[in-house]
Chain A
Amino acid sequence: DAGVIQSPRHEVTEMGQEVTLRCKPISGHNSLFWYRQTMMRGLELLIYFNNNVPIDDSGMPEDRFSAKMPNASFSTLKIQPSEPRDSAVYFCASSERTGWGDQPQHFGDGTRLSIL
């Protein structure tokens, strides 16, 4: 199993630019999660999907952030326009099913985003 695949691994861009982060979950997993990790705030859940449908986006910081899951094997997290305070490591995770808190989450290795 290839695990959760995220791209790019690193992204450096200037303030105001659009940033798109990509995630391929583990095949057969029905739930997908986007997290952001910083030293100050730790690992924060931004949004999660169940069967490609967004269930809870209460962690999305503001309207500049949007996430989509057009099919079971692909999701994107977009920031437009980007700001320096968006600099963080963004993780995608998947689990076999949601609605069940006993499922472990499988994380990708993250995208390290730097906004100059």
Chain B
Amino acid sequence: SQKIEQNSEALNIQEGKTATLTCNYTNYSPAYLQWYRQDPGRGPVFLLLIRENEKEKRKERLKVTFDTTLKQSLFHITASQPADSATYLCALNTNAGKSTFGDGTTLTVKP
């Protein structure tokens, strides 16, 4: 069966460091992979999308990589700030637009 795993439920880092979150999947061939941020009591907010034929995508302090051979995506936040503290979800999309979400990783950035 299809499975999506995000590394450790919680990740704690010091302000200014780079946070790296992992999304691994099995029995799945996504055409697209998205990353979302979710704050407590709020809905997920879209951050970045990467296509299966793209290796890397950047947006300001965010960087996403997508390795379809390893079946893995890495999500990096450079120069992290306490305001980056949230739960981050990866979502795998088929061409039909149907999304399957991972369980998320809760990031805490300490000042």
Contacts and interface: CB of A to CB of B under 8 A. Distances in A.
Interface residues of A, number: 26
Interface in A63-116: 91, 93, 95, 97-110
A10 B89 CA distance: 23
A12 interface: no
Contacts of B31: 101-102
Interface residues on B, range: 20 to 34
26 contacts: A33-B99, A42-B104, A43-B44, A43-B101, A45-B99, A48-B98, A56-B98, A91-B43, A91-B44, A93-B43, A95-B97, A97-B97, A98-B97, A99-B97, A101-B32, A101-B93, A101-B98, A102-B31, A102-B32, A102-B93, A104-B34, A104-B46, A107-B43, A108-B43, A109-B41, A109-B43
Interface of B: 30-32, 34, 41-46, 49, 51, 89, 93-104
